[in-house]
Structure 1
Amino acid sequence: FLSGHTGMKIHTPNIDRLAASSMIFTNAHTPAPACAPARAAILTGVHHARSGAENVYWGDGPKWREFDALKDVVTMEQFFKQQGYKTLGAGKIYHSQAPPWTPTSQVEPANWDFYYPSVYISHPYQIRAPKDVIYPEDVDNKSRPGGEGWWTWGPIPVPDEKMADYHVVDWASYQLAQKHDKPFFLAVGMWKPHDPWEVPQKYFDMYPLENIVLPECKKDDLEDAFDHGRRWIHKWVVDNNQWEKVIQSYAASITFSDAMVGRLLDAFEKSEYAENTIVVLWSDHGMHMGEKENIEKFTLWERSTRVPLIISVPGLTQAGTKCKQPVSLMDLYPTLVDLTGFDKPSHLDGRSLLPQIKDPNTRTSPVMTSYQFTWTEQPITGHAVRSIRYRYIYYPEINLEELYDHEVDPKEWDNIAYKKENKGIIEEHRKVMLDMLPQLTWREGSPDGYSIDKDGNVRKDNFESN
């Protein structure tokens, strides 16, 4: 419904159904282009650029509590529990891994009245595709990104009923069919379309390889931009003739996930809670399918930060309305508090979207996404600001800035940050970053490892073309 892949129809009839009866935020962005920091930020209400939880933070248990800024904050589900709500959760809400991988869960047990399958293993067992499907003999599996166990794709010869997300939706549907003696906060986390992109065969059949459309990409697109350190992954995909299969598998995973959303919506609409319950659908990050020489996420460009966000509020949202203003998933916590009539906790970095729900043309301020890159030779932190027209990115350690004008460059192909005429725009977006991170500074001169010509064109020194 966000027209995420030009030239292909991605089948999402159930999400489309929800969108048609709700408000769609078409310019919504994640605080982080990775699962762990995004989810910790959204659910605690503290942006990870302030808390320090800027990268994938592995480990079992609520490890995010180990950051000083998050040690005592009241999380979203904790807040509603304190207000007398029953808190019910299932699947991937906080960062987790499911068996057969190392079972970890960053859910905080005390915050939930019940969690399926458990607060300690927060997602059911995931069936994998056969090894000869995910590790075919005609590719170089020795140099394969992700090694064995991760970053794989291919059809699974099982029906939907065998899939982990099906079980999560079964449990949530059961909860919706029960009589609850107090209001509830129900969080339903589906793993797909996160990799591995392995779902039942019928979803692959919807996307024949001969119909797959590769994304439009600009040659040497990274010459004037940040090198995210993942070009080798994209090169492996291309060299091993897997690009079309990656897109097919991701599309299939999206449509499988949509089918699970449909099952949940059916149960919700049949329940006694359909007319008095707020519904929110969101995803924690976007996804590259080859753009910017990247497969997957982990960047500060539009493909990684833009996310679906749909909100339905009985008696308030107008069916099918769209808000084009920039908003952040950090806004979910204060919005839900506002909609339920409580006073907002003082620690929240987001803002309530109630004004936009009432009038989608109500202006918002730009939103910020941050990430610490570890695919590079040395860890590098970056911050991005998305306004209604521009994307501005700053990498302090290397003094690199990027600016893209979405009115003329929606694919973010041309970095215009060093054009003299854009100095005022740069300053405006710097101020947004300083509001969040007042300690940020900017150095004079060219970025480290880049040169700027007299016309303001920036180029990476010794750039290697693929």
Structure 2
Amino acid sequence: MKQYFLNSKERTGSFYRDGEDAPNILFITVDMISADCYHKDRPLSQVINTPNIDSIAEEGTSFNNAFTPSPLCGPARAAIFTGMHPPYLSNGERSPVGMKIDLELHDAIFQDYLKRVGYVLKHTGKCHVGVEKFIRTFGENIHAWDRWGPPTEDDDRYLAYLADMNVKLPRYRKELRGLQIDKLSPANSFGGWIEQSDGEDFPLDAHYSVFLAKLAVEQIKAAKIQSPGKPIFSQIDFFDPHQPYSIPSGLEGRYEQIRRVIVPPKSFEPFDENNPNRNKTLDLYKQYWGMYDEELVKDYIACHLLQVEVVDHALGHMIRFLKEENMWDEMAVVFSADHGDMNGRLAMADKGSYFIPEIYRVPMHVKPPSSKNVTVKDCGELVSTIDIAPTILAFACIKCPDAMEGDDLHKLMIGGERRPLTQVYQTGVHVGTNYGFAFQFEHQDRHMFYGYNVTTGHEELYDVNLDDQVNLFEMEEFLNQKPTIVELAAELLQSDPRWAGYWASYRLHNARFLPINKTDMQMLKPI
């Protein structure tokens, strides 16, 4: 086993490599995708058409219980890159002054280790964890934008791409809008169907996601010229299917097919503003999105599925190129997402600072090089996006760095066991400010998701495997489980200093379930 240092001169960032395997690696993420689009238990997963994404799963393993530790773009991506629970809990656009919002230059991300052992790094699309860190790791020629939405109008390369196709910038032909509290005035945009700025149809291959995939192809071509013989790591981070949607021309028939079979979620219902027991956090988000109309919900869901089909079409360009170049078979491929989407449940779109499992669940498909065995095609083991970094590093024979909390998922792909996984889910700042933590546990063969809201003490309990979620703590059967849950939470929160801030209020909100002791409630006592 050979020792390396991320900084050889200062001998810092020690890590080890056991072997010389260095396959080309492709890492693909989508942004804010609903389990409706990929989870086999969801009816709409049988409606959506994603042959290219499916091919990754067919040649590898699908992890059917994969979750992100944060349902917000920036923190979720920071967790993926560092292989740890996120170091901050908010996207930069909405954070109050004084909050940490980006990765620091000294933060080690898995791409740093690949670069150190000789990989040529290429990236295109969304980064949203701070440009400085990405430039330092990937190099000055990187194509990464650090914002929540794509820079379609100020991306020079995209504008040149459109000009070469003789296509003008897009505008909305039909736009979906939520309503304000008066249920009359237009509110937030969900996007919709696009056309060229002169009213002409907008071609599918002119779409920004297709541009990103084709740019990734050009980057791989460049890498083979720049560093012939060196292994390539290519990362592509799509914005889609994040709203506001941008459905190009030519998908009208698919829209009609999809919309005909959409049934609004059971939890979609008119607002009951007089219900004293309603969840105030969810109430805030419902008001923010203004999904009062059932037809709007159907259109939103249809657009979400269509946008995933656009991404799949884009990936088709990349996969065909890799196969034509005889690179695909021995390439390691990981496909996942930063977080989920409510997709009309509880009359909500998007994600936020709350604990519905729908926004924590993500797809996870891992295709190893064909020379590596796969015996488990569908894995139900609980896994996390913090497992992505150790898994990718393992393909390059790099031992998981001590700081990383995840594990190499290839162990599960060959029928083995992973090291124990501690999952702590955290909320922060989005539309509203709502800090809290959550964790999962098994109860009578049910997979449960428990969430605690710090400020209010409001507690939530969900069955992860249910399609449409309701807070089970509203039922007497589950209130009886409260002492057991408090015991589990107390053990978790005292196990790591990172969760100590939650423990301070949690022990007060649940004092009646905890033993009286003589410890200092301040947790810190001067001597």
Q: What range is the shorter-chain TM-score in?
A: 0.7 to 0.9
Name the structure 2 match of 1:354.
410
Q: Which of 12, 19, 36 does residue 74 from structure 2 map onto?
A: 36
- In 1: Cα distance, 2:278 partner to 2:134 partner: 43
Give the Å deviation of 1:56: 1.2
The alpha-carbon deviation at position 291 of structure 1 amounts to: 1.2
Report the Cα distance in structure 1 between the residues aligned to 2:510 and 2:100, rounded to whole angstroms.
39
Change (3 A) 1:335 1:429: farther
State the partner residue of 2:265.
Answer: 215
Which residue identity lines up with residue 307 of structure 1 in the other structure?
A: V
User: How far has the Cα of 1:106 moved from its partner?
Assistant: 6.5
Question: Match of 1:87, SS?
Answer: strand
Contact 1:89 1:115 in 2 (8 A): no
1:337 to 381, 393, 400: 393
8 Å contact from structure 2 (residues 123, 235) kept in 1: yes
Separation (CA, whole Å) in 2 of partners of 1:327 and 1:296 = 23
Shift of 1:364: 4.9
CA distance in 2 between counterparts of 1:358 and 1:106 reads 38
Following superposition, the deviation at residue 26 of structure 1 comes to: 0.6
Structure 2 contact 394–400 (Cα < 8 Å) conserved: yes
Q: 1:283 to 1:119 in 2, by over 3 A?
A: closer
Give the conservation status (yes or no) of the 8 Å contact 2:213–2:317.
Answer: yes
| TM-superposed deviation, 1:38 | 0.9
- Cα drift, residue 374 of structure 1: 4.3
**What is the deviation of 1:351?**
2.9
Which is strand-richer, 1 or 2? 2
CA distance in 1, matches of 2:469, 2:419: 23
- Alpha carbons of 1:431 and 1:358: their partners in 2 closer, same or farther (altered >3 Å)? farther
**Alignment identity in percent?**
20
Name 2:5's counterpart in structure 1: none
Letter of the 1:330 counterpart: I
| Higher Rg of the two aligned structures | 2
2:239 aligns with 191
The verdict on how the C-alpha distance between 1:210 and 1:276 changes in structure 2, with shifts beyond 3 A counting, is: closer
Residue identity in the other structure for 1:370: Q
Cα deviation for residue 366 of structure 1 reads: 5.1
* Cα shift at 1:224: 6.4
The Cα of 1:365 is off from its aligned counterpart by 3.3
Q: CA deviation at 1:144?
A: 3.4
* In the alignment, structure 1 residue 108 sits paired with structure 2 residue 134: yes
Q: Is the contact between residue 450 and residue 462 of structure 2 (CA under 8 Å) also seen in structure 1?
A: yes
Out of 395, 402, 423, which is 2:483 matched to?
Answer: 423
Cα 1:345–1:290 change in 2 (3 A) is same
3-state SS, counterpart of residue 47 of structure 1: coil
TM-score, length-scaled by structure 1: 0.79
2:110 pairs with one of 64, 76, 91: 76
Structure 1 residue 2 displacement after superposition: 1.4
The aligned residue for residue 455 of structure 1 is none
Alignment deviations for residues 399-451 of structure 1 (CA, whole Å, 9 cap, x no partner): 222222346x553314238612353244235534544534132245589xxxx
Corresponding residue to 1:318 among 353, 368, 374: 374
Trace 1:257-296 onto structure 2 (pairs within 5 A).
257-296=311-350
Larger mean CA deviation between 270-279 and 29-38 belongs to 270-279
Paired residues of 2:126 and 2:150 also in contact (CA < 8 A)? yes
TM-score, length of structure 2 as denominator length? 0.71
> How far did residue 198 of structure 1 move?
0.9
Q: Distance in 2 between matches of 1:305 and 1:275?
A: 31
Counterpart residue number, 2:162: none
Q: Report the counterpart of residue 171 of structure 2 in structure 1.
A: 130
Distance 1:129 1:200 in 2: 9
What's the counterpart of residue 192 of structure 2? Answer: 153
| Aligned-partner residue type, residue 264 of structure 2 | L
Question: Which structure would you say has the larger RCO, counting Cα contacts within 8 Å and 6 or more residues apart?
Answer: 2
Go from structure 1 to structure 2 and tell me whether the alpha carbon gap of 1:89 and 1:123 turns closer, same or farther (over 3 Å shift): farther
Question: What CA distance in whole angstroms lies between the structure 2 residues aligned with 1:204 and 1:85?
Answer: 43
User: 2:397 and 2:276 mapped to 1: Cα distance?
Assistant: 47
User: SS of the residue aligned with 1:16?
Assistant: helix
What corresponds to 1:307 in structure 2? 362
Give the unaligned 5+ runs of structure 2.
Answer: 1-37, 154-167, 196-200, 512-527
Aligned to 1:9: 47
Q: Counterparts in 2 of 1:156-171, with a 5 A limit?
A: 156=195, 157-171=201-215
Equivalent in 416, 429, 434 of residue 380 of structure 1: 434
Task: Look up the SS of the partner of 2:328 in the other structure.
Answer: coil
Aligned residues: 425
Residue number in structure 1 paired with 2:230? 182
Query: One-letter code of the match for 1:76?
Result: F
